[in-house]
Amino acid sequence: MLYFLDTEFNELGGELISLALASEDGRSLYLATRCERPGSWVAENVIPIIEVPGAKPEWIEANEFGTRVATFLKHDARPVVVADWPDDIRYFCSALITGPGEMVAIPRMTFEIVRVDAYPTSLEGAVQHNAFWDALALRQRLLVEAI
């Protein structure tokens, strides 16, 4: 099954703030953690919209992203994660690592990068730079609008 991914992180190379997966069958996962020292762009454009109408994250500790993702994907033997930017996959993969030489229990996974602009979108209420809405917009762009 396809899972459309988006992440938000603290400036270039900073810590992961939020992660969303929107599956092709309509299920979704939206996780967020507190960002103690957001960069100025993130403070202005990401932090205020982590929680907006239609997008209420599950607030977790930063070290819980991987286990929550593994739980969400546990019934899919061959998940395919689709993103529109390489950093989304990088942050996603980093979240799966639980320690030196250890990762969450995901035996097989495939990644695709499809370089498209998900916005503008026809999704009512969508808020750009909110990981949940961005994952939904990517799913809409690739499945419904079909590039």
* Tens-digit pLDDT string for the chain (147 aa): 999 999 999 998 899 999 999 999 999 999 999 999 999 999 999 999 999 999 999 999 999 999 999 999 999 999 999 999 999 999 999 999 999 999 999 989 999 999 999 999 999 999 999 999 999 999 999 998 765
pTM above 0.85, yes or no: yes
Q: Where are the domains of the chain?
A: 2-144
Tell me the two tokens of residue 59. Answer: 């607030």
At the fourth CATH level, the homologous superfamily of domain 2-144 is: Ribonuclease H-like superfamily/Ribonuclease H (3.30.420.10)
d(CA 60, CA 34): 8
